[in-house]
Structure 1
């Protein structure tokens, strides 16, 4: 089995360290669940302590990068989970659904194997963080690969959608995490931690313009209001589907 992150997960464990403030939101949404399946688990970010976690990850390379003591991992796809019906108290999937070949089938599988809540950290493709002013290719990619917020209710039934504020010093280097650290986007190593930068073409012009605006002070003037913010609504959302009877 091959997977995208066999190639692009080079610096993932180093650059994608879970942020404790976001982790607390995920953990709270899991409620009292004792057994949790984590689908698209990667290197284990946001897997809660004190629960029995089973990780599912299609990329063998990412499984190999899981630290010692991490939850056991099964190499499998979201759309074909090798578990019995209602095997888990809860399910979680963190910034992964946009990589699933069949998103509806994957969520149906999560619902099949989970008797309690399903917790998804995802992104609202209707949102436009400031970085898309420089790289409209990112907005186009978000629209192409991210489910619309309305899709989750169609596929899972009633859901609650919660905003996930991104701290200015977020330790998890996902795409829009550096909203108050714009110079980070000029670093190829930082960009390598986000799958989106592996998937778009023609980013050089936008990044060059960002570099010029940072040097001239134009970025600071245009986005002066961000300097006073400790958190930013970058479009990340926690989608929570309740348990089933």
Structure 2
């Protein structure tokens, strides 16, 4: 994962600006713990500012992009966390689990170093956001790299699963964030902020079809129901494990 984000992290801090509504949901899920471990921390998105945060990030490029106000970051991987048992009150991992080489080992490490809650933001690969109608390779990729929801309980013990609807004007440009702004997917710069597009390779035919349907109004006709929504369940889930 570190090598991947050394490459795709070029525009990350501009395209992946944390959304305050998503931040609020994550922080509320963390509960009252004072010390927080953030694994796969990237540039520091969604780290709470009112607690003592320790960040772990495998990509040197992403660590260099962290602001002077961000928590200190250690270059390490989820599978081998350089901390003693029960070092932190809580832990978090935001849109990163699918990049871990050994997800079970990473979860075991999270549980080992955390006394209390573990909060993960991930994606349910059984979901089918409308973008997969145009780019079916995304659904195939989701299925291959995203853990199925039932696996979290196997790894962490009892978990609470909360849907996280995405606001229509979400400021964070993750994969399905532009659900009500389809033209955004035609912009190569915006696509560069999502690791999935880097993994897919040439999707020019799929994008040409989307462009045509937007231009002719077919897209609006097909997805008229979601255009009236302020937030959309695109498949993102908060997974909360309590110790």
Q: TM-score range by the shorter chain?
A: over 0.9
Query: Shift in Å at residue 218 of structure 1?
Result: 0.3
CA displacement, residues 185-215 of structure 1 (integer Å, 9 cap, x when unaligned): 0000000000000001331111110000000
CA displacement, residues 5-53 of structure 1 (integer Å, 9 cap, x when unaligned): 0011111111001100010010001100100000000000000111000
Aligned to 1:223: 223
Aligned mates of 1:108, 1:162 — CA distance in 2: 22
Paired residues, number: 243
Aligned mates of 2:211, 2:2 — CA distance in 1: 36
Give structure 1 stretches of 5+ with no counterpart.
Answer: none
SS in 2 for 1:9: helix
Aligned mates of 2:122, 2:8 — CA distance in 1: 19
SS in 2 for 1:193: coil
SS in 2 for 1:36: strand
Aligned to 1:33: 33
How big is the alpha-carbon RMSD for the aligned residues of Structure 1 and Structure 2? 0.9
TM-score of the pair, normalised by structure 1? 0.98
Aligned mates of 1:236, 1:202 — CA distance in 2: 26
Aligned to 1:98: 98
Following TM superposition, the consecutive aligned residue runs of length 4 or more in structure 1 with deviations greater than 4 angstroms are: none
SS in 2 for 1:70: coil
Query: Shift in Å at residue 68 of structure 1?
Result: 1.2
Query: Shift in Å at residue 117 of structure 1?
Result: 0.1
Query: Shift in Å at residue 69 of structure 1?
Result: 1.1
Aligned mates of 1:171, 1:117 — CA distance in 2: 27
Aligned to 2:62: 62
